[in-house]
């Protein structure tokens, strides 16, 4: 499977999502996760306080997410490495300080969503150009677009889908 990253559309979230989007580039996103399969993504959430695997009805047909497919292939070792991160604490202080440009105080034993996705993107080997890890979702989206747009960048989600057939939270996760 190719590496796919889901970018959460801030317009469907709460005031926190809208503020994150506004103060971090205003490209429309406030959160990101790595797609494991059509029903699961893995990421760091402020709301749960750690890295976890989340269940979704179908990430490819969710109105909440833009799923971006990159020309990089995940193997079993890569996926195993992702799953070994489950339980890693969320870096609330690091993400808050990054808004004012202070990244030196970020801790290696904690992550926020786009930091988690960037770290694992950078693990993809020679084909993955390295990206600074202490960035916000809008910046990650922009950098990935700039890097891969002419080399296999593709949005694979159905942008006009409707999740009304399921009982979901504000992120489209099954509740």
pLDDT in tens, 68-123: 999 999 999 999 999 999 999 999 888 888 877 776 666 678 999 999 999 999 99
Domain boundaries, the chain: 2-155
pLDDT in tens, 15-66: 999 999 998 889 999 999 999 999 999 999 988 999 999 999 999 988 899 9
pLDDT in tens, 110-159: 999 999 999 999 999 877 789 988 899 999 999 999 999 878 788 888 65
Q: Are 18 and 30 in contact (CB under 8 A)?
A: yes
Q: Which of 158, 173, 162 is nearest to 66 (CA)?
A: 158
pLDDT of 102: 74
53: which residues sit within 8 A by CB, 6+ positions away? 36, 40, 41, 42, 83, 86
Confidence of residue 166 (pLDDT cuts 50, 70, 90): low
Q: Is the pLDDT of residue 160 over 60?
A: no
Q: Is the pLDDT of residue 163 over 60?
A: no
Q: Are 10 and 29 in contact (CB under 8 A)?
A: yes
Q: Quick one: CA torsion of 126, 127, 133, 138, rounded to 10 degrees?
A: 170
pLDDT of 82: 96
Q: Are 40 and 55 in contact (CB under 8 A)?
A: yes
């Amino acid at each position: 499977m190719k590496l796919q990253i889901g970018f959460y559309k801030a317009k469907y979230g709460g005031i926190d999502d809208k503020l994150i989007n506004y103060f971090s580039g205003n490209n429309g996103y406030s959160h990101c996760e790595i797609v494991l399969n059509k029903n699961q993504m893995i990421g760091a959430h402020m709301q749960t306080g750690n890295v976890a695997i989340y269940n979704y009805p179908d990430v490819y047909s969710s109105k909440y997410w833009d799923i971006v497919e990159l020309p990089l292939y995940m193997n079993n070792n890569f996926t195993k490495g992702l799953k070994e991160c489950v339980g890693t604490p969320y870096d609330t202080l690091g993400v808050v300080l990054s808004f004012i440009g202070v990244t030196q105080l970020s801790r290696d034993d904690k992550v926020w969503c786009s930091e988690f996705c960037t770290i694992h993107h950078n693990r993809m080997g020679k084909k993955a150009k390295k990206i600074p890890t202490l960035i916000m979702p809008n910046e990650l989206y922009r950098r990935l677009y700039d890097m891969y747009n002419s080399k296999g960048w593709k949005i694979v989600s159905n942008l006009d889908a409707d999740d009304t057939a399921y009982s979901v939270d504000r992120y489209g996760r099954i509740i």
